[in-house]
Every structure is written in C-alpha cells, then in structure tokens.
Structure 1
C-alpha cells in the first residue's frame, strides 16, 4: 500500500481533488474496459478475483492443516489442487500478458487489493 497519504488539507475542493488524483493515478493498476481492450480488461478482472479467492483458500487450508482437522489424504489432495490452480493461473497470466502486479488492482483510497 502506498505510504502517500493526505493527513490534513485546508485547501479548496479543487486542490484536494488534484492531490487525490496524484495519489490514485497509477495507470498500471487501474482496470480499464473499453471497446479496444475488453478482452484483456475482462481477463484482468476475472484473474484478479480468481487469484484473490485462491489466496484466501490457501490461507484457510493452512489454518485447517495447522488445526489438525485434515487427514493426510485430504492434505495431499488439497496441496495438489492448489498447486494445479497456481500453475493454471501462471499459464493464463502468460496468455493474457499479465503479471502479478497487474492483478493487484488499485482500490483508490483503500489502496491495492492484495
């Protein structure tokens, strides 16, 4: 997340708007959909959501493993499934010419997604 923050500004609305634009003007992390780039923009959105869900599932899986609620077969299947999903994500990112940084969409004042 960016460390650039507006802590206090007593200026006009226009000055505050300009400052906010500077903080959120990271072209690389914006999701842009238009007639000429609809496929890549949609791919970026879908892959971002899939990657976010994959990371959440991995964290939950690790909690379950650490908590001892899975047997060895379940751990093996889950590990294999997560590994295959990660490999497929890499394949799709390469196909659509996307990087991990591209999937980390900027949510404006909230910062980056991941």
Structure 2
C-alpha cells in the first residue's frame, strides 16, 4: 500500500493535465454505487472483449490480404465474427449498454470504435 509520502502531487497533476488534453478528464471521485457495480463490471469486460475482437479482425484482414487463408477458412472466420458480434449485442442489451459506452480512447491510435 502506498503512503501519502510516496505520491508526488505534482506528478498527479501532470497526469491529470495529460489526460484532459487527450479528451479524457479524470473524475474527481470514483463512482461506487452498489446498484451499478454489475453494469460497470460488464462494461469493463465487454470493452476488453470488443478491443480483442477488433484486434483479431485486423489480424484476419492482414492474413486475407497476404493470401494466407483458404476460402473455407475465410468463410469460417466470417461466420465466427458474425456470431461474436451477435453475442456482444445480446450481452450489451442484457446489461443495458449502448455501443458507444464501450468505446475507448487509445491515445494516438484514436478511438476503439
């Protein structure tokens, strides 16, 4: 556990300034509403899954462009990605989340979605 003596207040302010410049202002408080903890956790998990799906899609496109996949493999991947997308929509609906709520600002890479 960090003591207050270990935390440099100037470094914290510098970090806050960097985040605000990136368009992601830090909240003054962390929301700890017990009624929303399930939705918050679902949002975090689904965001990570969405990020992984996007990375896998980019990798698949690169493999297709290089000619490293047969037409059967391409079809299977297409079906898999469609099923993943359908399941993600189902989970978002179950937790009352919209697509934009799962967006991440990846800094110089831009937004996830």
Q: Same fold (TM over 0.5)?
A: yes
Gaps in structure 1 of 5+ consecutive residues: 1-12
What corresponds to 1:80 in structure 2? 79
Question: C-alpha root-mean-square deviation of aligned residues, in Å?
Answer: 2.9
Q: How does 1:101-112 map to 2 (within 5 A)?
A: 101-105=100-104, 110=107
Which structure is higher in RCO with an 8 Å CA cutoff and minimum separation 6? 1
Q: CA deviation at 1:95?
A: 1.2
- CA shift for structure 1 position 86: 0.5
Question: Hey, what's the Cα distance between the residues in 2 that align with 1:66 and 1:48?
Answer: 27
Secondary structure in 2 matching 1:24: coil
Residue of structure 2 equivalent to 1:99: 98
2:51 pairs with 1:52: yes
CA distance in 2, matches of 1:63, 1:97: 34
Report the count of equivalent residues.
Answer: 94
Query: Which runs of 5 or more structure 2 residues have no equivalent in the other structure?
Result: 1-9
Alignment partners' CA distance in 2, 1:39 and 1:33:
11
